[in-house]
Amino acid sequence: MRTTAERRRWIVFLGLASAVFVVDQIVKVWIVGNFEVDVPVEIVGDWLRIALTHNNGALFGMFRDQALVFAFFSIAVIGLIVWYHGHGAKGLLMSVALGLLLGGALGNLADRLRYGSVVDFVDMGIGGWRFYTYNVADAAITTSILLLILIAVVPGLAGSSSDA
């Protein structure tokens, strides 16, 4: 029998994952329908642009043309995230971090299955100095990783299963 705190953590975890997934997919559908591939559109000067690309590799475009491999890998990672949330994760902040991670993983998996690649479009930088192009799912994953690092450095932030 789950406690009230555990139920709250699951609601936060699944609610946040669902929200990230839905927002990510809605934005990507709009971007794909309204922008041309490799034709940047300035939003805030050269600093922030929408530059639609299709990444058929992994992080930072590494391991190109391996979308199917990464789709299978993503399914395994999604399973591990859900399993860890149910068996090892404690505290509300961990549920937030894992919810962001799950939503981002699901968003990029949906792209790989639908398009054979991940839709990226946020392009930041100055002139020739650009950050990697990313999407809503990537931003959620990055935020999750930062939270997980913070929890690892300051373990007290992870809380306990009764923290909700």
124 CB neighbour count, 10 Å cutoff: 17
The active-site residue, picked from 24, 120, 123, 163, is 120
Domains of the chain, residue spans: 4-158
Contact (CB, 8 A) for 113 and 71: yes
Report, as an integer, the average pLDDT of 35-62.
85
Q: Which of 24, 111, 123, 138 is catalytic?
A: 138
What's the pTM value of the predicted model, to 2 decimals?
0.87
**Position 79 pLDDT exceeds 80:** yes
Determine whether 24 is an active site residue: no
State the pLDDT at residue 158.
Answer: 75
Residue 111 annotated as catalytic: no
Compute the average pLDDT of residues 121-147: 94
Phi, psi torsion values for 8, nearest 5 degrees? -60, -40
